């Protein structure tokens, strides 16, 4: 995970922001570094998805076999009821397993959700402070804190199942749009670099199932899906106010600059070096004096090379 994050963030171990080329010396490069992920990531996907599918399918087969339809409908936690019915004194294994699975899912969501805010800020769609990373650990601390605050706000609701339905529908909608974007880019920009390239057959099959399930959801739960769409559309005025509206009042810009400066001091964060800035050392400021790019200090091997050249 550490190497994957370094490659995605433009860490010195990856050398380039958008290519997984590992160059240079150091412990991150001696064993293949980021170049191995072009081979290992597809392997991880092709192994994990069938394995997880196998486990889930046979777990549901076990539930249906051991429990009656009435028991399945009456249970708030089917796995726990299943364990109490079949495992006896060892029934405690099931709730612990469910908790571990839940924590694993939350851990993955923390890594991905905060990086979505980070990427959006780098593209100029969110406040620039969310695009900053810690000066030593290269962690997007402002994006993580923003994820934490937004999650706590969503937990204010008393009906957790309704919240799950809203968020689930919105996430599923964007999953399909993202996969469709892959097909569009393959058609409009066929020559852009693609470290990992898969056959279009896979996204097309996914979109067919996605469209079927989306239409079924809209037909079976129109109110829930409509509210979910309304929640999603609340981002439109935010986009026009924050991104599309260029000539903002000076007081507004001063407030954003002050908020950015305070966040930088509290979180010890700066802007990561862009691909064109990798030749720069130390901390540099942009023309407006507001953005800073951070390049970690040279390694011992780099210092030795410079001494030999001198």
Any domain includes 15: no
Residue 53: band (very low, low, confident or very high) from pLDDT cuts 50, 70, 90? very high
Do 177 and 284 belong together in one domain?
no
Please indicate, yes or no, whether residues 281 and 295 belong to a single structural domain of this protein. Answer: yes
Q: Is it the case that residue 72 has pLDDT exceeding 80?
A: yes
135 and 259 part of one domain: yes
Residues forming beta bridges with residue 271, ordered by sequence position: 293
Strands 269-272 and 133-134: antiparallel
Tokens of 17: 């922001």
C-alpha–C-alpha distance, residues 258 and 271, integer Å: 16
187 plus 131 within the same structural domain: no
4-23: pLDDT as tens digits? 444 444 444 333 333 333 33
- Domain range for residue 183? 158-233
User: Domain ends where: 185, 206, 233?
Assistant: 233
d(CA 20, CA 8): 8
Edge-first strand order for the sheet with 133-134 is: 133-134, 269-272, 292-295, 282-285
Answer yes or no: do 151 and 171 share one domain.
no
Residue 117 pLDDT level (bands cut at 50, 70, 90): confident
Mean pLDDT of 204-224: 87
The reply to whether 179 falls in a domain is yes
Q: Compute the average pLDDT of residues 204-213.
A: 90
Asked if the model's pLDDT at residue 57 lies above 90, the reply is yes
Could you tell me what percent of the chain has a pLDDT over 70?
Answer: 76
Under a CB-based contact definition with an 8 Å cutoff, are residues 6 and 138 in contact? yes
Say if 244 falls within a structural domain: no
Q: 24 versus 121: which is more confidently predicted?
A: 121
Evaluate if residue 142 carries a pLDDT over 70: yes
Chosen domain end from 233, 261, 281: 233
Say whether both 149 and 163 belong to one domain: no
Task: Please tell me whether residues 168 and 214 are part of one structural domain.
Answer: yes
Tell which of 182, 205, 233 closes a domain: 233
Whether 285 is covered by a domain: the verdict is: yes
pLDDT given at position 32: 41
**Residue 178: inside a domain:** yes
* Structural domain count of the chain: 2
Please report whether residue 14 resides in a domain.
no
Looking at the structure, tell me whether residues 152 and 278 fall in a common domain. Answer: yes
């Amino acid at each position: 995970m550490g190497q994957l994050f370094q490659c995605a963030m433009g860490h010195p171990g990856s050398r380039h922001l958008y290519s997984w080329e590992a160059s240079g010396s150091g412990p991150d490069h001696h064993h293949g570094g980021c170049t191995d992920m072009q081979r290992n990531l597809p392997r991880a996907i092709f192994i994990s998805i069938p394995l997880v599918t196998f486990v889930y399918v046979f777990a549901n087969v076990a539930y249906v076999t051991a429990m009656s339809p009435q028991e399945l409908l009456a249970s708030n936690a089917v796995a726990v009821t299943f364990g109490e019915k079949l495992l006896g004194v060892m029934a405690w294994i099931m709730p612990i397993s469910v908790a571990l699975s839940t924590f694993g899912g939350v851990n993955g969501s923390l890594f991905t959700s905060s990086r979505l805010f980070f990427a959006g800020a780098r593209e100029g769609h969110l406040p620039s402070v969310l695009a900053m990373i810690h000066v030593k650990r290269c962690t997007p601390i402002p994006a993580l804190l923003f994820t934490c605050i937004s999650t706590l706000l969503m937990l204010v609701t008393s009906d957790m199942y309704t919240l799950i339905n809203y968020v689930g529908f919105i996430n599923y909608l964007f999953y399909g749009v993202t996969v469709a974007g892959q097909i569009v880019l393959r058609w409009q920009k066929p020559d852009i670099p693609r470290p990992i390239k898969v056959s279009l057959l896979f996204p097309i099959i996914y979109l067919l199932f996605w469209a079927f399930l989306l239409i079924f959801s809209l037909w079976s739960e129109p109110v829930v899906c409509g509210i979910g769409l309304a929640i999603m559309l609340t981002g439109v005025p935010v986009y026009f106010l924050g991104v599309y509206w260029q000539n903002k009042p000076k007081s507004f810009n001063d407030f954003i600059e002050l908020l950015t400066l305070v966040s930088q001091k509290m979180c010890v964060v700066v802007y990561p070096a862009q691909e064109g800035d990798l030749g720069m050392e130390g901390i540099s400021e942009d023309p407006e004096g507001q953005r800073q790019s951070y390049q970690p200090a040279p390694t011992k091997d780099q210092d030795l090379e410079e001494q030999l050249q001198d």
